[in-house]
Amino acid sequence: MSGGGLLVAGTTSDAGKSVVTAGICRWLVRQGVKVAPFKAQNMSLNSFVTREGAEIGRAQAMQAQACRVEPTALMNPVLLKPGGERSSQVVLMGRPVGEMSARGYHGGRQEQLLGTVLDCLERLRGTYDAVICEGAGSPAEINLRRTDIVNMGIARNAGLPVLVVGDIDRGGVFASFFGTVALLSSEDQKLVAGFLVNKFRGDVSLLEPGLEMLHGLTGRRTYGVLPFQHGLGIDEEDGLRVSLRGTVRESQVAAPVGEDVLRVAVCAVPLMSNFTDVDALAAEPGVVVRFVDRPEELADADLVVVPGTRGTVRALEWLRERGLADALRRRAAEGRPVLGICGGFQVLGEHIEDDVESRRGQVDGLGVLPVRVRFAREKTLTRPVGEALGETVEGYEIHHGVAEVLGGEAFLDGCRVGQTWGTHWHGSLESDAFRRAFLREVARAAGRRFVPAPDTSFAALREEQLDRLGDLIEQHADTDALWRLIESGAPTGLPFIPPGAPA
């Protein structure tokens, strides 16, 4: 017999679906429920490698952690990794199967994948007491409904009740809730059980008349009002959603242990991937992380990070166009710390031979590390363990570029020359002892009297954040009603709201 299920949809992208899904998962697992997350199709440059070597969305890996289970490819069978405005790499069951235009994908390929995603969902429901599914964008994208496999398409085929999340901080949440339901077909509307308000500020009693009116208009109740909370610090899915200039990554409020803070500047390269790598730095008291796109913003940085990217050659061109390439070369020559991760490591090398990603052939790199990179068609997907700076390090690799290291001092899979470091390993900074050792090196080279906190545990901080999400659901949602939805499905007799979906 299949376990229960729920689809968490949203009125818009970034309504809070990922966070709400994780919160429901953590609340359920604390009640002793065996639960798993699921997202049929994810579009994201933030990805993760499972223990079986499959690439999935980082948000689903975070949700699996909320469930206290090991993430697998079943939890995110289709991952789309944008490579430009109109095309994406399609990752199916954790393995890349090719590049495809949006027109090509929605023109037929997506429908072909419905059987695969339904099979994955059914396998999870056969193993777990409950599966909490996350939608994508809005279920009322009427131009995409025919080929939909992630919102109402999967809800209809799997008989899942749907909870619609709306971000009230944006304004217009009542219209968004009503309009979402009213643009669905009568069959789809039967599965939309109700609403969840996210990011509310103020006195809930002032909101209640509106919720009652919404119930009167739609026949659907609101299952909770979640308050706005700063600093949740949970992995994001679709990239930075605000202007990168001056953006500061959420950091610990605690004062530095030493006399100085440490300033980290992250080059906001195009198609930036796995920028979550710097979250472990931002978790350190006294470390300030910001994203930058101008050379003058590197001047006062103690460490510059060149992060991963889905477009290495494009990132190189961007760095040169903005004058950041010259600034990075100067830093390297002056012995000021620079860390390149994955694509960022590749751009620091001597040259790149790319007939796969950009198809630009041989391109000169920045030449600050003795490394030559050749792009292979097969993608490297591994979970390596090693040692650096006398400490054990764990990470994960997601890249087509194969690096030939021709000199320097060994550093994980890459190398170090002076204070310029390069590696393909994502997630290495989450290893606490290594991160502290690395920051001590950076502080020494930068002349800062910065001291890493001796007891910062990134894993423990992540657990605390997930518990905060569980608390949000437990304290501000009608959990009894939520469990009835998960166990028994959408209520019967929900009214149809005209006009419904266009023919």
Catalytically annotated residues: 342, 426
C-alpha 457/C-alpha 432 separation (Å) is 6
C-alpha 248/C-alpha 179 separation (Å) is 35
C-alpha 215/C-alpha 220 separation (Å) is 5
The answer to whether the CB of 415 falls within 8 A of the CB of 371 is: yes
Query: Nearest to residue 24, comparing CAs of 118, 123, 130, 125?
Result: 130
C-alpha 135/C-alpha 133 separation (Å) is 7
The pairing of beta strand 221-227 with beta strand 192-200: parallel
H or E, element range at 398: strand 397-405
Cα 285 to Cα 278, 304, 415, 456, 460: the distances in Å are 14, 18, 28, 8, 15
At 375, list the tokens. Answer: 């792009």
The answer to whether the CB of 295 falls within 8 A of the CB of 326 is: yes
Q: What residues contact 135, with CB distance under 8 A and at least 6 apart?
A: 7, 8, 9, 10, 17, 39, 150, 151, 162
C-alpha 130/C-alpha 110 separation (Å) is 26
At 402, list the tokens. Answer: 């194969």
C-alpha 143/C-alpha 164 separation (Å) is 19
User: Positive or negative CA dihedral for 222, 465, 70, 149?
Assistant: positive
Cα 323 to Cα 330, 349, 440: the distances in Å are 11, 17, 29
3 state DSSP class of 169? helix
H or E, element range at 224: strand 221-227
The answer to whether the CB of 412 falls within 8 A of the CB of 388 is: yes
Q: What is the DSSP letter of 426?
A: B
Compute the chain's Rg from CA coordinates.
23
How many other CB atoms are there within 10 angstroms of residue 334's CB atom?
Answer: 10
C-alpha 170/C-alpha 148 separation (Å) is 26
The secondary structure of 341-355 as a DSSP string is ETHHHHHTSSEEEES
Q: Residue 165 pairs with which residues in a beta bridge?
A: 10, 196
Query: Nearest to residue 87, comparing CAs of 68, 66, 104, 108?
Result: 104
C-alpha 480/C-alpha 100 separation (Å) is 43
Residue 49 identity (one-letter amino acid): V
